[in-house]
Structure 1
Amino acid sequence: MSTFSDRNRTALIVIDVQNDVVAEAYRREETIENISTLVIRARAARTPVIWVQHSDEELVKGSPGWEIVPELSPAADEPRIEKIYGDSFEATNLEQTLASAGVGKLVVSGAESDACIRSTVHGGFTRGYDVTLVSDAHTTSDMTEWGAPAPEVAISHINLYWQFQGAPQRTAAVVATDSVDFGS
């Protein structure tokens, strides 16, 4: 029911599943397998799949570490959004890409749960989108040395609080890969 009365479509957003970002991610293989399942199902339902790639001083655009993991293959006609901030909307053309595709609902997967995933789900929600976080299709690395909780706790926490978000004319949801419905 997003705030966009003329945008009834859903899009799958795959955030930062790049070689260096997920090299040591918690449950890496399982998470990537779930994302792959989502991509296959989205394509079968003719749901737009949008790939997001982060870059910064340590994750240099065009480097092998910046590339999307080899287990996932963006199709040539699927948009790629390049970003330099945690929120995939900030200083990118993501909003224009979604608007041109008639998208009002986002299904979010990728990395890092406690950084770019968190920022993007909030960014989309505050911009008027319905946002579904796929509980078993996002991951993070161990950032405890910087004061963050252990990866499994960070993932569990975002899954917990996201399901209780609310705002006028918008919905927030958390569902497992098997429960994602690209038909609605």
Structure 2
Amino acid sequence: MKIAFLIIDMQKLFLDDSVDKRQIESACEYINYVSNILRKTGHPVVHIQDMEGRQHDLNPEVRNIIPQIAVEPDDLRVEKEYSNAFWQTNLEQLLRDRGVKFVVTAGFSAEYCVTFTTNGAAERGFPVAILQKGFLSQDPDAVRSVYRDRQVVSYSAIEFMAKACQGLS
């Protein structure tokens, strides 16, 4: 069984001035830890970048992934125009081609792109959970809502699953 890790919209444009730096550092620590576990055990890590309206950007640099997120050469990338990263992208096919059976989401923003992409995975038949402490929002109520209303998975559970699945794909 393959586990895919979708890291959503961890871009300068969204995070530079809108979220507390300590929250960003904490979320990045969890995201990077899980990314490393999954890479080492042969599971795909996918960086999803919002490109909506990019033709209007005066500085395209703001669309880059923040430097606190580790991006490796073998990581996959998907550009999206909508809140749901599955909508009008190749993400579903990319996951199916790699035999993905479980999806973990993380990133920004809890109430929009993380939730909508999580819903998109479920709508396409993927069991899915959001990484505990691996998602952000400008609104603390949105974070509490995700913990209350969504499936959340800890890094230690992902580590166990990834190692248990190693070599079984």
- In which range does the TM-score fall when normalised by the shorter chain? 0.7 to 0.9
Q: Distance in 1 between matches of 2:143 and 2:33?
A: 19
Q: CA deviation at 1:55?
A: 1.5
Partner of 2:3: 10
Partner of 2:142: 154
Unaligned runs of 5+ in 2: none
Task: In structure 1, give the amino acid aligned to 2:143.
Answer: I
Give the helix-richer structure, 1 or 2: 2
Partner of 1:104: 101
DSSP 3-state at the match of 2:29: helix
Q: Larger deviation: 19-28 or 38-47?
A: 19-28
Q: Deviations over 1:71-105 (max 9, x none)?
A: 22322222100000000000101011101100021
1:25 equivalenced with 2:13 (yes/no)? no
1:35 equivalenced with 2:31 (yes/no)? yes
Q: Distance in 1 between matches of 2:15 and 2:25?
A: 10
Q: Deviations over 1:44-83 (max 9, x none)?
A: 1111101100012378498111001112232222210000
Identity percentage of aligned residues: 25
- For 1:1-184, list aligned pairs within 5 A: 8-23=1-16, 24-26=18-20, 27-57=23-53, 60=57, 63-141=60-138, 151-163=139-151, 174-181=152-159, 182-183=162-163, 184=165
Task: In structure 2, give the amino acid aligned to 1:180.
Answer: I
DSSP 3-state at the match of 2:15: coil
Normalised TM-score (structure 2): 0.86
Q: Are the counterparts in 1 of residues 25 and 68 from structure 2 also a CA contact under 8 Å?
A: no
Normalised TM-score (structure 1): 0.79
Q: Are the counterparts in 2 of residues 133 and 159 from structure 1 also a CA contact under 8 Å?
A: no
Q: May I ask how many residue pairs the two structures share in their alignment?
A: 158
Q: Distance in 2 between matches of 1:136 and 1:101?
A: 26
DSSP 3-state at the match of 2:6: strand
Q: Distance in 2 between matches of 1:116 and 1:62?
A: 22
Q: Deviations over 1:121-157 (max 9, x none)?
A: 011001100001112000012xxxxxxxxx2221110
Unaligned runs of 5+ in 1: 1-7, 142-150, 164-173
Q: Larger deviation: 25-34 or 78-87?
A: 25-34
Partner of 1:169: none
